[in-house]
Structure 1
């Protein structure tokens, strides 16, 4: 029993990606996660661009400041740069050569100084080579050194200036924009939001699906509440209108048949009176019998039309009680009807419709098998309620089991003058409370009629 719910859960999980909710969840979760990642990447790229722009401007200001100091006090400026007394600038190594100047930076500095200038970015290790001379203590991090620019310009012919400016970088730019645990959190948050959005979006569709299924199985028309987005409200309104029109069509059909049946009673009665005047007694009896069959077929046709129009209220009843009382009532009239197995179950049905179904099935069992056994049980696979009526008759060929529910169809095992719509009426009555009626041949002989009620209508 524990494996059955597990199989049901696995089936729902397997079918979920093929559903509208599953596809919305997938699209929304992936879309939100990808959008978040792209937004973070774009934000990181913009931040890096803004920082580089601001850093370049600051380096230009430092270079112009040192150049102006050289113009005012060249000797003292050279001395303080050599001694490292200026924060953010120091003397350039005499061995350095301007091998790969930055064209844009050089152009900007040339414009501000008014002298031809060249600027070349340097690596941290090359710029601060003196740090490499000393051994590092354990745990000492030498990576966060400033960014450096080697600057060279000619203040005047024969007076070339060389120095270095440095600025502290934003080391966070070198870290990935998204990493553990943020990447996982984005994926999880996207999936949860996708599930929520898909559930909210498909909730009106699920209401419509349940209402349409109930109408197709039971025939009861209950308008769906018109809520949700405008498109969903329009669809619900259309579905409600379609259901109402179907109901009106069924009511109109039943009224027409009832009117025809009523109108036929008068000529059939006159015909019966005239047939009584036939002098040939044998012919009169045959004609009257044919007339009776005609009248019965008209009444049965009306019963069949009305069987799907039952407006009986729902009730929760004890199944064992209705089966045992039906067996007792039949036994009082000398019929061999037995209640063989109970289930201690209550179910939500239409009592009169269920009684009509059981009555027709018991009549068939007595007619073709001479006896009827009533029982009920719970289906282990899906928790449906199964009510069965079994007989010991000849059964039916497999090809006729489905045909038995077609109205006015005479089967190979038919006997007597019945109209052949008893099972059709029983099937229509069962549908009014959401049940399904099927026939099966028993292994040890006879026919088994099975009424299957869905688990949603069962109360233990």
Structure 2
């Protein structure tokens, strides 16, 4: 239940379902009360008709014969007798019956008592054996215009059967199930645009213009969709402008640096010449990796179905042929859509870092139903835990492990993460419990 409530779909479903059930229950209760009220009104009208006819007949009969007339049984079990003594006041009066009698009889004083057990005392009442309890009785005290008084007694059997028989409960259960289905459909329709926005945000690729979401649905959904489409376009334009400027700068600097290096070759001082040429080579390497960084953010390379196992095997074989200690320890058949050259560049950077700073590397590939996992572990000193995220910052280098002499510029990990994120994946670094650093790449199989 708690899991359902945490989602927007579940919350809307529970709110709608609760509201509909409460409304339906209130409607049933109101209908029942109205039915009971209607039953009481109909009963009062029938009794009033019978009593009015009796009173009209009684007024035409001489006074000595009235008591015998009242003792005769009549419709609805009405029996009566003359009252010569003053009657005690009625505590619980039947207003419906009194109103109905006043509408039919003029100049007559009437007091109707609500049905109760005490009203049946002393009266010879019989009831069917199928009734498990005796009926209640209702008394009506009437004073005619000539001052004569008499009382009428009517048995009131209880209502037969249950208030709501089983078929009614079955219908109510079916009605509740229909309400639940309707609430679920309404909640699903209401939250579908949110799911579409979330999926579009997850699949947002800053390297190319995404397909705009269709602006449909309610006004609020249309406004949110329109804002998302504008945001997607602005992000792409900003990234393209930034990467284009970076690529242009790094490319344009290559020509003057090449001319400068040619002139440095003519210096007569060999020691000075070698030092300056080394600095020049470092600058050219930084510019080249800067260009690679720009390409990692924006590329027009088309996606292709890639055999990831073959790619990793090829990278590991090339490293072994180059004299590096690389072991591909776990193979798994994995195929996914990717940018082959870009993904090869990212994995090559991670493998080069592992060999360069850890002397030896182990590579493994595994998968589950939705993702594949690439792990590249080295056997070096690792990285302080507080720097595991900082090392992805462009041009950041850990001084004790990376230097100009080793060739590190601080862009390899940045390039690798940009490429992995462009594939809707994730790249994280962790210190292995047995020592060394482990780079974990997670890629969705449906990318």
Q: Distance in 2 between matches of 1:413 and 1:257?
A: 27
Note the C-alpha offset of 1:134: 6.2
8 A contact 1:435–1:453 mirrored in 2:
yes
1:409 aligned partner = 396
**Quick check: 1:262 aligned with 2:277?**
no
Note the C-alpha offset of 1:336: 3.6
Note the C-alpha offset of 1:201: 1.7
8 A contact 2:83–2:149 mirrored in 1:
no
Match of 2:20 among 32, 35, 41: 32
Q: Distance in 2 between matches of 1:221 and 1:111?
A: 81
Match of 1:238 among 227, 232, 241: 227
> Structure 1 residues 451, 424: closer, same or farther in 2, change over 3 A?
same
1:292 aligned partner = 281
> Structure 1 residues 351, 77: closer, same or farther in 2, change over 3 A?
farther
Q: Which has the higher contact order (CA 8 A, sep 6+)?
A: 1
Q: Distance in 1 between matches of 2:337 and 2:377?
A: 23
> Structure 1 residues 153, 312: closer, same or farther in 2, change over 3 A?
farther
**Quick check: 1:228 aligned with 2:217?**
yes
Q: Distance in 2 between matches of 1:22 and 1:140?
A: 50
**Quick check: 1:323 aligned with 2:312?**
yes
Note the C-alpha offset of 1:14: 4.0
Which digits, 9 at most, give the CA deviation of each residue in 1:385-432, with x for residues without a partner?
A: 221223333433434333322221221211423312111111111111
**Quick check: 1:42 aligned with 2:30?**
yes
8 A contact 1:124–1:148 mirrored in 2:
yes
* 1:168-179 paired onto structure 2 within 5 Å: none
> Structure 1 residues 170, 221: closer, same or farther in 2, change over 3 A?
same
Which digits, 9 at most, give the CA deviation of each residue in 1:352-404, with x for residues without a partner?
A: 3321121112222232334433221247xx97422122333343343433332
8 A contact 2:202–2:424 mirrored in 1:
no
Q: Distance in 1 between matches of 2:133 and 2:354?
A: 97
Match of 1:115 among 91, 107, 116: 107
> Structure 1 residues 184, 95: closer, same or farther in 2, change over 3 A?
farther
Which digits, 9 at most, give the CA deviation of each residue in 1:260-316, with x for residues without a partner?
A: 233333433443444445443333333333233223222322321221223444444
**Quick check: 1:252 aligned with 2:241?**
yes
Match of 2:410 among 403, 416, 420: 420
Q: Distance in 1 between matches of 2:300 and 2:211?
A: 12
8 A contact 2:213–2:225 mirrored in 1:
yes
2:436 aligned partner = 446
SS in 2 for 1:448: strand
> Structure 1 residues 323, 67: closer, same or farther in 2, change over 3 A?
same
**Quick check: 1:391 aligned with 2:378?**
yes
Normalised by the length of structure 2, the TM-score is: 0.82
- Name the stretch that deviates more: 296-305 or 274-283: 274-283
Aligned length in residues: 440
Note the C-alpha offset of 1:154: 1.5
Aligned-pair Cα RMSD in Å: 3.8
8 A contact 2:206–2:235 mirrored in 1:
no
Q: Distance in 2 between matches of 1:136 and 1:169?
A: 12
Q: Distance in 2 between matches of 1:448 and 1:87?
A: 95
8 A contact 2:374–2:442 mirrored in 1:
yes
Q: Distance in 2 between matches of 1:135 and 1:109?
A: 27
SS in 1 for 2:438: strand
SS in 1 for 2:217: coil
SS in 2 for 1:155: coil
2:328 aligned partner = 339
> Structure 1 residues 165, 68: closer, same or farther in 2, change over 3 A?
farther
* 1:274-285 paired onto structure 2 within 5 Å: 274-285=263-274
SS in 1 for 2:375: strand
Note the C-alpha offset of 1:24: 1.9
Note the C-alpha offset of 1:239: 0.9
Q: Distance in 1 between matches of 2:305 and 2:82?
A: 98
Q: Distance in 2 between matches of 1:312 and 1:204?
A: 31
Q: Structure 2 regions of 5+ residues with no counterpart? A: none
8 A contact 1:353–1:432 mirrored in 2:
no
8 A contact 1:376–1:388 mirrored in 2:
yes
Q: Distance in 1 between matches of 2:74 and 2:387?
A: 108
8 A contact 1:389–1:449 mirrored in 2:
yes
Q: Distance in 1 between matches of 2:82 and 2:301?
A: 103
Match of 1:271 among 242, 250, 260: 260
